[in-house]
Amino acid sequence: MEHTSLLERILRGIALTLVVIFFMFPIVWILMMSFQTNETILRIPPQLVFKPTLANYTALITGKLTTAAGTLDIAFMRNLWNSVFLSVTSVAVALLLGVPAAYAFARHKFRGSEDIAFTLLSFRFAPALLVLLPLTLYFQKLGLANTYIGLIWVYQLICLPLILWIVRGYFEDIPADIEYAYRIAGHSWFATFRKIALPLAGPGIAAAGLLAFIFAWNNFVFALVLASADKQPVTVGALAFITSSGIQYGQISAAIVLSITPTLALALYAQRYLVEGLSLGAVKG
C-alpha cells in the first residue's frame, strides 16, 4: 500500500464511492420517502427538498391509516411484534438444539454422523414451496396451522441448518488439545463443553445466531401460507399497504425503516463480536 500513486488512490476512491452509492442509495431513498406524503413521493420529477412529515409513522404506530377512501385499520405494530417474537424464539430454539448438535458433529465422529449433518443441511436446498404444500396439510391435521409453535417449528428449517453448520466449523477450529487439557485437569465433558468450547466458539455462535435471525426475519413465504393476520410478521403484513385506493408508498417506506431497525441494530452490536478472532494466541500455530 505504500507505493500507491495519486492516480491510483483517486481511482480507488471513485470506485469505492460508486459501490457505496449503489448499495446505499435505495436505503437512503426509502428513508427519505418515509418522511413524505404519497403526493410528494409520486411527483415527477422527484424532489430532493421537501417538507418532512411524521404522518406515516404516526399512522403505523396508531394503526389508523387514513386514505382518500376513508380510514383503514392496519396491524403493523402487531406484525412487528410477531416478527420479533417469531425470529427471537426461532433463533433461541435453534441455538438450544443446534449448538450441542454442532458440538457432537464436530467432536464425535460416529457412524453416519456425516450423513445426518448433510441431511440437515439439505433442508436448505429444497425450495420452500416444495415443502409448503405437504406441510400445510399436515399442520392443519395436527392443529399447528396458524399457531406460533407451528411457525417456529417451520422456521427451524431456516435457522437450524445454518447454526449447525456454522457453529460446527467454529467448534472444529478449537484445538482438541485445549479440551483434552481441561478433561485431564479433572473436569467432566459437560464442564469442558460449557467452560471451554462454548466461550471459545462464542463469536461463531453469535455470528450464526445473527445470520439465522436475519434469515428468519426476512422470511416471507412460510408465514404467508401458514399464518393468518394476527400471527403474520412484517414481511407479510406489508402487503396490507397495497390498498384498493392505491399503494401507500410513504407508509411502506416507514414500515421498512421500522422493520430493518432491529436487524441493523443487532448487526451493529454484534459486529464487535464478529471481528474478534477465535484463537487468542494460546496455541502456537
Question: Residue 23 or 190: which CB sits closer to another protein?
Answer: 190
Q: How far apart are CA 141 and CA 39, in angstroms?
A: 48
* Nearest distance, CB of residue 280 and another protein, angstroms: 4
Question: Residue 205 or 254: which CB sits closer to another protein?
Answer: 205
The residues of the shown chain that bind another protein, judged by CB under 8 A, are 175, 177-178, 180-189, 196, 199-200, 279-284
* Nearest distance, CB of residue 226 and another protein, angstroms: 42
Q: How far is the CA of 12 from the CAs of 21, 23, 25, 197, in angstroms?
A: 14, 17, 20, 42
* Nearest distance, CB of residue 196 and another protein, angstroms: 6
* Nearest distance, CB of residue 228 and another protein, angstroms: 47
Q: How far apart are CA 105 and CA 107, in angstroms?
A: 6
Q: Residue 45: is the preceding peptide bond cis (ω within 30°)?
A: yes
Question: Residue 8 or 114: which CB sits closer to another protein?
Answer: 114
Question: Residue 32 or 198: which CB sits closer to another protein?
Answer: 198
Amino acid at 264: L
Cβ atoms 251, 59 nearer than 8 A: yes
Instruction: Please report how the helices 148-173 and 128-142 are oriented relative to each other, as an axis angle in degrees rounded to 10.
Output: 130
Biggest alpha carbon–alpha carbon distance for the chain: 75
* Nearest distance, CB of residue 177 and another protein, angstroms: 4
Question: Residue 144 or 174: which CB sits closer to another protein?
Answer: 174
